[in-house]
Amino acid sequence: MQALARFTHFHLFALFVVALFGIGVEAAQKAVLAEKGEKLYTQFSLFYEKDHHITTNYRKGILVPVNTEVEFVKATKKRITVKIPSYNVTVDFENEEDYSGQNIGGIFKRTFAGQPVDLAGFSDAERSSIKKGTVAAGMSKEAVIKAMGYPPHHKTPTLEMDQWRYWKNRFDTMLVIFENGKVSAIQD
């Protein structure tokens, strides 16, 4: 009898999960990401152009440095909208999942947080490059992420690699080469 009760509870729970995901994946994502008007901070330096940031992470447009305060506006399955008060602009973060390797929840988690990034653990040179959104020889992988964001997944499938390819624009790339976890060369 107890086995039947456990079996039944398991199936009821499974049906609940199926129903939840079947009718409201997008609504569930919205609820999990943030509340409208919530203050967040960028977790790496990034660029936007024409009020859009594409997760392919092009290195052109207007720089938004790490730790820039933003206000959450809304999210859909493919887009996160935030207001950047210091720029007086609303920016759509458009997820190209084939290139980012992340769903919208993953993009949100790695791009925004409720607290600024603590840059104290980086060297003075790394902090300078991070704030400018640039990369320089000697930077750690973590410093490069804070300065440049994440390289597109389709060209850099894992951050364990020693070569990360970033897109400068739709047609031109740059390669950041690491040796022993530090930038050893940058090929434009």
pTM of the model: 0.82
Q: Is 36 inside any structural domain? A: no
Alpha-carbon distance values, 123 to 65, 117, 133, 184 (Å): 17, 14, 15, 16
Which residues, other chains included, contact 44 with Cβ-Cβ below 8 Å and sequence gap of 6+?
66, 110, 111, 117, 145, 146, 147, 148, 149, 150
Question: How many whole angstroms separate alpha carbon 23 and alpha carbon 32?
Answer: 16
pLDDT of 169 reads 87
pLDDT of 14 reads 39
Element (H, E) at 131: helix 124-132
Host domain of residue 151:
136-187
Q: How many domains does the chain have?
A: 2
Q: Is 16 inside any structural domain? A: yes
Q: Is 168 inside any structural domain? A: yes
pLDDT of 9 reads 46
Per residue in 89-144, pLDDT tens?
A: 999 999 999 989 999 999 999 999 999 999 999 999 999 999 999 999 999 999 99
Q: Is 116 inside any structural domain? A: no
Q: Is 172 inside any structural domain? A: yes
Helix, strand or coil, per DSSP, at residue 84:
strand
Q: Is 75 inside any structural domain? A: no
Q: Is 13 inside any structural domain? A: yes
Dihedral angle computed from the Cα positions of residues 127, 156, 109 and 76, in that order, rounded to the nearest 10 degrees:
130
